[in-house]
Amino acid sequence: MCARIMVLFIGITLVLVGCTKEKMSHDPTEPNQDVTEVPVTPIVTDKFLGDIGELRITPYARNLQSGFSVYSSPLRFDKWLERPTNKPEYGRIVAAGTSIEMIVIGGSLSAGVKDGGLSREGQLGCYSNLVATQLGMIDFVTPVFEEPYSNGTGFDIRMNRSELFFNRVNNDLAILQAEAHGNPPVLRPFKGPNVSNFSVPWLTTWDIFAATWDSTRIGKGVNAFGVSWAPFLPYAWRFVPRAHFEQGTFYQHIRKTQSYNFYLLEDRGDYFLNAIRMKRPISQGALLYDMKEGEYHTLRLIKMLSYAGQKGVIMTVPRLRDLGITDWNVTVLNTNESQMYDTAVEINNGHFRKWAAEHDLALVDLENLYSDINNGRYTTEQGLKITGGLSGNFFSSDGIYPTTLGQAVIANEVIKAINIQYNSKIPLVDIRSYMSTIGVSID
């Protein structure tokens, strides 16, 4: 074990540096992993660009936008990460004397989406980074945006928590090229080392195994979203060469660039939300059919990620009625559609609970967590009341994804699940100390 752990913020990545370890070697047949920056002019805008991948529930969110704002994050995540930490007891997670090598695969939640966008602040504060820190990891890498482009895709700021209207942040964006004429959007590439957090907005296990991209389809064939690319690809292209997706899958990239002995898998959350975003009538048959297809891919990925006996974590999916968007005075789904949605979620979560038991995985029950928060039944270990809805402290302005505080709550739920399943002693995040240290007022 290293005697000292140093935290470095290098460019656009958060890298925990300490003892070195051998990484999985690259396959010589794999395309060059270096991401070349697209030679286009950075966008400076005073108008609405549209969402990269529609991270908000549209068109309702657009109807609530009242203007634009500039933003510079005051949060200091480095102060928390630089503090001394002790190596925890790993229990059954890994063999005695072995260090944790964790990867994370997930969608918007695990990528750090909040306030209807993806930004450096959201990426640094996502539960994935907090769990890695509490595990004592020394080289966990999240592909965060560079500081000059820290506001990423742009996001929403509610000027008054008592009102639903918000302004869209449109400064310091990482958008090099907006979607136009059938061409996909382009985000500034990640130039750091191989990532550990492979989570990107919209990612599902279907995409991990099947989503490829043929540039010759631009302006020709389109998918259900009306474009020629899977919505997760513009985010993945930041650290995976486009050429790879013309020849291979996301899963193949993960296996060829990162070794691991522990994993976090967050799946299906974005998939269910897509049923709303796609602006089509929701039928029970369509939900159940899609869920059955997704079930196959999720179970397949669990088995493949555990191929050498690796331990891991999986998560259930929250019910629609427990999300903050139910506070909106706008119609998202009618009563019948909402009931069908929640029924499909409950069936899906039954599968996740079963798989956790069958494959010796820790289970984070987001369905129950979000229900407890929505119904006023959740208090942190430090006595902090966590509240739901758009006026509470758990959901960000989009009513879907957590605040920085909410991400810390989820991080502790992940750690609790790990400790219970694997008899480990991973310390929880002291949420009050954490929020105070990084500069968030919770009083």
Check residues 10 and 298 and name the one with the higher pLDDT. Answer: 298
Per cent of the chain over pLDDT 90 is 56
Q: Give the model's confidence band at 229: pLDDT under 50 very low, under 70 low, under 90 confident, else very high.
A: confident
Q: Three-state SS for 175?
A: strand
The confidence band for 291, taking pLDDT boundaries of 50, 70 and 90, is low
**Greatest mean pLDDT range, 172-186, 238-252, 362-376:** 362-376
pLDDT given at position 83: 82
Helix, strand, or coil here: 309?
Answer: coil
What CA–CA distance (Å, rounded) separates 398 from 409? Answer: 18
- The answer for residues whose C-beta is within 8 angstroms of residue 147's C-beta and 6 or more apart is 12, 120
What is 59-111 written as a DSSP string? THHHHTEEEEE-------HHHHHTS--PPPB-TTSS-TTPPP-EEEE-SHHHH
142: DSSP letter = B
Judged against a pLDDT cut of 60, whether residue 194 lies above it is answered with: yes
Q: Quick check: is 79 in a domain?
A: yes
- Count of other CB atoms within 10 angstroms of residue 423: 12
Residue 443 within any structural domain of the chain: no
pLDDT of residue 281: 64
Q: How does the average pLDDT of the chain come out, rounded?
A: 83
Residue 22 lies in a domain: no
Assess if residue 28 is contained within a domain: no
Domain contains 26:
no
Lowest mean pLDDT segment, chosen from 173-177, 224-228, 267-271 = 224-228
Cis peptide before 59 (omega within 30 of 0): yes
Average the pLDDT over 340-367 and give the result: 93
| Bridge partners (DSSP) listed for residue 17 | 6
Residue 173 sits in which domain range? 6-16+38-438
Lowest mean pLDDT among 130-134, 213-217, 219-223, 306-310: 219-223
Q: The tokens of 34 are what? A: 């270096």
Round to whole Å and give the CA distance between 177 and 298: 33
Sign of CA dihedral 270, 274, 275, 276: positive
| Domain annotation covers residue 116 | yes
Number of domains into which the chain is organized: 1
Instruction: For 359-409, give the DSSP string.
Output: TT-EEE-HHHHHHHHHTT-EE-TTS-EE--STTSSSB-TTSSSB-HHHHHH
Rg (CA), the chain: 21
Task: Find, among 330, 345, 33, the residue nearest to 194 by Cα.
Answer: 33
User: Does 44 fall in a domain?
Assistant: yes
**307-342 pLDDT per residue, tens:** 999 999 999 999 988 999 887 765 567 788 888 888
- Give me the pLDDT at residue 218, please: 77
CB 385 within 8 A of CB 406: no
Per-residue pLDDT band for 23 (boundaries 50, 70, 90) equals: very low
What is the pTM assigned to this prediction? 0.88
Asked if 263 and 105 count as a contact pair (C-beta separation under 8 A), the reply is yes
Rounded average pLDDT over 375-403: 94
| Residue 52, pLDDT score | 67
231 within 8 A of 202, measured Cβ to Cβ: yes
pLDDT at 84: 80
Residue 272: pLDDT band by 50, 70, 90 thresholds? confident
In this prediction, residue 58 has a pLDDT band, given cuts at 50, 70 and 90, of low
Tell whether 359 is covered by a domain: yes
d(CA 282, CA 260): 39
Q: Would you state the pLDDT for residue 186?
A: 92
d(CA 424, CA 415): 9
Cα–Cα nearest to 31, from 245, 190, 237, 203: 245
**What's the whole-number mean pLDDT along residues 71-100?**
91
Tell me, what CATH number does 221's domain have?
Answer: 3.40.50.1110
Q: Is 296 helix (H, G, I), strand (E, B) or coil?
A: helix
**According to the model, what pLDDT value does residue 13 have?**
37
